A and B are shown apart, each in its own frame.
Chain A
């Protein structure tokens, strides 16, 4: 009886596990099927490096370079904010904070991850953008800087909690050995703990970047939406995700425009895939180094 029941459970959970594989294959399949034709129709080089995005004109221009540039530009800006804050926060929580501070800080940071992105968007549109506009005397507050600031905030919890986990994995014996050799706390932190947790922290940063690259609603609301290659941090920009979100509803199904939007999705997917693979490799290296097993 119990063996039979076990078999049934095995089957059920097996099906559930393979369901996500099915979704993955289905989604990538559709992305390739709908997105690939544009490369044949426009040319892959012209599509990726074209400077103009005029999808609905006659003749249309399908150059997504400004969109790719915008995505990386604001992601880079977001990392300048999120890495110091996220990694710094993790170091503080792991190394310095008293258990009371820890019990208070960790849930707060995790709560930050639970705020819906549209709320960040609203906050950015209504409060941050007008404030920055006045502060810097820029013509419009909806720009790359505002987007980076908000994406940075959104990536902090990802980076902080994964980095903190990595620091937690550094065996006590490493630190004790360091202290025994006469190193002080700062020396132990910079010479022992951080190098030991290094690839784990890198994983955290890369996953945070993935979070920022894929974010849609917030950038749609605060980045400004101008499809130009950004020259200044105060230029309005139009990331890839925002383009898909803004235009998919109005694109004629099956048209070149429709294919182009799917192709943008495909490229985004490949970018995040590469990031995830790098993160996975780094994390394996990290676990191996600390002898935690794969």
Chain B
């Protein structure tokens, strides 16, 4: 190879590396810890198919997710609750137009310790337990044992949804144990014989008993049919209509394959 030929090769190599750097696109996703496993899994599969896309997925909570859309620090903001009016106003003042994409459904399961003989509660009973009217399992037909009420910290999206759907926004008794994650609630209920708690349907495992709410057991069918009342949509927010690779990613999650991933991580896909 001549000297100029080698030089040419070198230039070409450098240029090709630069072009990878220039054309590699990145997506930043932040927000709800509930949506996190979906975003994470979908990002892995999406990047396998699209080597030139780099997706970073972070948690932080629904508030962080929406704030990052408003601040422009993320391309996609995950949220387990719809955007609040206050947040909408803030977005408007910055010229940001948050657009919601429903990517999955989540059922909130009410769980008790496996040794508990209670198989179901009415929504009213759940409300009475969480607001402090009923303090013993005997009040709902169980043993004379103190109920250990376990809730999520009052800023979490799961709490907000449970509070709205199950408690009608009533205040949780102040002596309820507040845990900081779904997993922590699950672990505490699994270790505490008198406990009652609630977690996303995807987190339920055999270490606890999920109970019927108003006679309906939480499952994919009952959530999609609307029979199970403690269910909510999960969102991804973008600033305006998504474009380019962000649109591709959201379309991917909504596709058959994406919805299968949603079910893999324990949530409820929107397709039958």
Contact = CB atoms under 8 A, between A and B. Distances in A.
Interface string A222-250: 00111110000001101000000111011
A225 B62 contact: no
Nearest to B181: A246
A255 B178 contact: no
Nearest to A226: B175
A178 interface: no
Contacts of A52: 174
Interface in A250-283: 250-255, 257
A6 interface: no
B175 A228 contact: yes
Interface in B106-123: none
A58 B189 CA distance: 29
B192 A252 contact: no
Interface string A188-222: 00000000000000000000000000000000110
A250 B157 contact: yes
Interface residues of A, number: 37
A65 to B, nearest CB: 11
Interface string B134-166: 000000000001101000011111011000000
B7 interface: no
A139 to B, nearest CB: 5
Contacts of A55: 154-155
A248 to B, nearest CB: 8
B252 to A, nearest CB: 27
A245 B174 CA distance: 18
Given A220-B180, A257-B155, A251 B63 contact: yes
Contact of B175 (A56, A58, A236, A245): A236
A228 B176 CA distance: 9
B179 interface: yes
7 contacts: A130-B191, A246-B155, A249-B155, A250-B61, A250-B62, A250-B153, A250-B155
A250 B188 contact: no
